[in-house]
Amino acid sequence: MKMQKNIFTEIDKYRDEIILFQSELTKRVALGPDNGGTGEHEKADYIVKRFEEMNPDILHEVRSPDSRAQDGYRPNIIAGWGKDESKPVVWVLSHMDIVPPGDLSLWESAPYKVRVDGDRIIGRGVEDNQHGIVSSTLAVKAVLESGLKYNSMGLIMVADEETGSRYGLEYLVKNNKDLFKPDDLIIVPDWGAPDGSLIEVAEKSMLWLKFIVKGKQCHASTPERGNNTLFGVARLIIELEKLKGAYNFSDELFSPPYSTFEPTKIEANVPNVNTIPGRDVFYLDCRVLPVYKTDEILKYVRKAADRIEGELNLEITIETVNREDASEATPVNAPVVAALKRAIKKVKGVEASTKGIGGGTVASFFRKAGFNAAVWSTCLDVAHQPNEYCRIPDIIDDIKVFASLFLDDTI
Ligand SMILES: [Zn+2]
């Protein structure tokens, strides 16, 4: 116990190291081709160099082919320390890619040059997801330097989280499934609460639908010569609101506890007031509790569209723009959840609770492959925003939480 106290005292001295690490990562811009970049190579090379300094027992790069990226591939890094085959590995997975800075006029300083303001580090990527990269890497370093006996520790740094994970975790899990054992503890520090009290274990299915309503355009003074698609849109939106009643199951694990069905974007139709539109396009964003099958929702929606088509003599096409079916949830009593709760309690003094969320997370690729993964970090809601920042004390806490998990001898 005294030894554990010493390692925490050492971690408390990491401020300068955190700032330096964040600066080096931030200037190595890791944008995927879908975001106008060439991939994560420079950042990956830097991380590999850091890992090499820590003498890992395993260190390899999994290259997922992507002809649009530098050298035709996207890098994914795996490192491991300690190799006791009989015991579970504690894995922490972070992602290297970032999103573009967006409107530069909204930034108070250059996005790729870290600025420090008191306890805040400001720059693109410092929170999402360099917070995870830095806290997990420095936790391994602290544990190694402590000389204490540790669990098998694994760090994974993936590409392509921001644009679908096809070249990142999805590829890695598909091609390296034997890397993981069912009883391994997998933590993804890419979501959380500002006080570190939330552990994400489940997600809703995500379904984005595009509705194209076709009628007949004409002059507004002679509506009988056309067929106004806006009436179809209005009727359809009223019908779609009934999805809430038809799929009204509530599960308190989730926030909000029910499925959501929200009409969102509507495309511009006619440019002038005196024309009746003959084509209208709008979108529906659905976040559906895992008890419901996405196909059921699609059937319900199609039926509603069929009714309105018949009644108003319109043609309604429905396209699925995005679909991510929910994976099996990580049980709230899974070992990874229990161990995380213990570590969070010890470091931060808070009783963490489990949550399901509305958006898909990268953890679902583990869950779909049959592994329990928990998403946790001390997280401010600043990802993807201008002037993205992280708090140094939060990173220090998270280093201590990961170090506690690496040292937890009940695992
Ligand atoms: Zn992220």
3-state per-residue secondary structure call for 224-261: HHCECHHHHHHHHHHHHHCHHHHCCCECCCECCCECEE
Report pLDDT for 95: 97
Active-site hit among 40, 66, 97, 398? 97
pLDDT band at 72 (very low <50, low <70, confident <90, very high): very high
The helix/strand/coil state of 373 is strand
Q: What is the identity of the amino acid at 297? A: I
- The token duo for 348 is 């931060």
Distance 386 CA to ligand 1 centre (A): 15
User: Is the CB of residue 199 less than 8 Å from the CB of residue 341?
Assistant: yes
In this structure, the number of other CB atoms found within 10 A of the CB of residue 321 comes to 12
- pLDDT over threshold 80, residue 360: no
3 state SS for 272-331: CCCEECCEEEEEEEEEECCCCCHHHHHHHHHHHHHHHHHHHCCEEEEEEEEEECCCCCCC
How confident is the model over 94-138, as pLDDT tens digits?
Answer: 999 999 999 999 999 999 999 999 999 999 999 999 999 999 999
Q: How many CA atoms lie within 13 A of 92 on its CB side?
A: 29
d(CA 54, CA 289): 43
User: Is the CB of residue 281 less than 8 Å from the CB of residue 212?
Assistant: yes
Q: Environment class of residue 336 by beta-carbon count within 10 Å: exposed (0-12), middle (13-18) or buried (19+)?
A: buried
d(CA 172, CA 159): 10
How confident is the model over 282-315, as pLDDT tens digits?
Answer: 999 999 999 999 999 999 999 999 999 999 999 9
d(CA 100, CA 220): 44
Q: What is the identity of the amino acid at 378? A: T
| Superfamily of domain covering 2-203+326-407 | Zn peptidases (3.40.630.10)
Report pLDDT for 83: 76
Distance 128 CA to ligand 1 centre (A): 5
pLDDT band at 5 (very low <50, low <70, confident <90, very high): low
Q: What is the mean pLDDT of the chain?
A: 95
CA distances from 299 to 249, 293, 294, 325, 393 (A): 18, 10, 9, 15, 49
pTM: 0.88
> Domain limits of the chain?
2-203+326-407, 205-324
Q: What is the identity of the amino acid at 191? A: W
Beta-bridged to residue 355, according to DSSP, are 200
161 is catalytic: yes
Distance 160 CA to ligand 1 centre (A): 10
Chain length of the chain: 411
Question: Was domain 205-324 assigned CATH 3.30.70.360?
Answer: yes
pLDDT band at 320 (very low <50, low <70, confident <90, very high): very high
Q: What percent of the chain has pLDDT over 90?
A: 92
- pLDDT over threshold 70, residue 3: no
Active-site hit among 127, 128, 161, 398? 161
User: Is the CB of residue 226 less than 8 Å from the CB of residue 215?
Assistant: yes
Long-range CB contact pairs, 55-63, < 8 A, 24+:
55/81, 55/144, 56/80, 56/81, 57/81, 57/82, 57/83, 58/83, 58/154, 62/171, 62/172, 62/175, 62/176
Report pLDDT for 352: 97
d(CA 342, CA 196): 13
184 is catalytic: no
- pLDDT over threshold 90, residue 1: no
**How much is the CA Rg of the chain, to the nearest whole Å?**
24
The helix/strand/coil state of 16 is helix
Are 2-203+326-407 and 205-324 in the same CATH fold?
no
How confident is the model over 203-224, as pLDDT tens digits?
Answer: 999 999 999 999 999 999 999 9
Distance 10 CA to ligand 1 centre (A): 28
User: Is the CB of residue 367 less than 8 Å from the CB of residue 360?
Assistant: no
DSSP category for residue 91: E
Q: Environment class of residue 19 by beta-carbon count within 10 Å: exposed (0-12), middle (13-18) or buried (19+)?
A: middle
Distance 32 CA to ligand 1 centre (A): 13
Report pLDDT for 4: 63
Distance 28 CA to ligand 1 centre (A): 17
